[in-house]
Amino acid sequence: MRPIVTMVVFAALMSGGTAAARAETPEEWIALGARVHGGYGAFIPLGIKIGLDAVDRLKAKPRELSVTYYDSEKAPCACFADGVAIATSASVGQRSLKVDPEKAPDGAAAVIVIRPRQGGPGFKYTIPLSALPRLGKINTELDPLGRHDAVMKADALFEVAPVN
């Protein structure tokens, strides 16, 4: 993808423009994820997958969701949060994305709570530590497009539960 197109896609997503996040092609997600995060490892598409799931379940438009991310000391980094951010258009600058100082519970690589920005019930996504070896294998064996496709097709990489 040409850099100007990437910038337009990024601007549309971050500004709440009419470009629906779920309409992005795999190549556009990869370019956007790599631009925002600095690379496109397997954690970014998992964050995108979670963010898109929340957008769909909550029937949300860009900038309508609030995300609280709980990291784990056992996860190598908080890359999942960047994927969730680009899929939901949540951001630290908009105060709609918060990385909580409280850690994810034992057995979890990360916990992400996504709810409507105006309040109300939402969903809690838990990425179990047991998903990390699988994600690591995807990361080392595949190129960015392969990573994206493998994660998007994979089952059991996260658990989801309603929260009030």
Class of domain 3-163: alpha beta
Residue 77 is predicted with a pLDDT of 82
Residue 134 is predicted with a pLDDT of 97
Spell out the domain ranges in the chain: 3-163
b/e per residue 59-78 (b: at least 16 CB within 10 A): ebebbbbbbbbbbbeebeeb
Residue 153 is predicted with a pLDDT of 98
Residue 5 is predicted with a pLDDT of 36
Counts of helices then strands in the chain (DSSP H, E): 6, 5
Query: What digits encode the pLDDT tens for the residues 100-134?
Result: 999 999 999 999 999 999 999 999 999 999 999 99
Residue 75 is predicted with a pLDDT of 80
Listed as ranges, residues in the chain with pLDDT below 70 are 1-23
Burial grade of 12 (CB within 10 A; 0-12, 13-18, 19 or more): middle
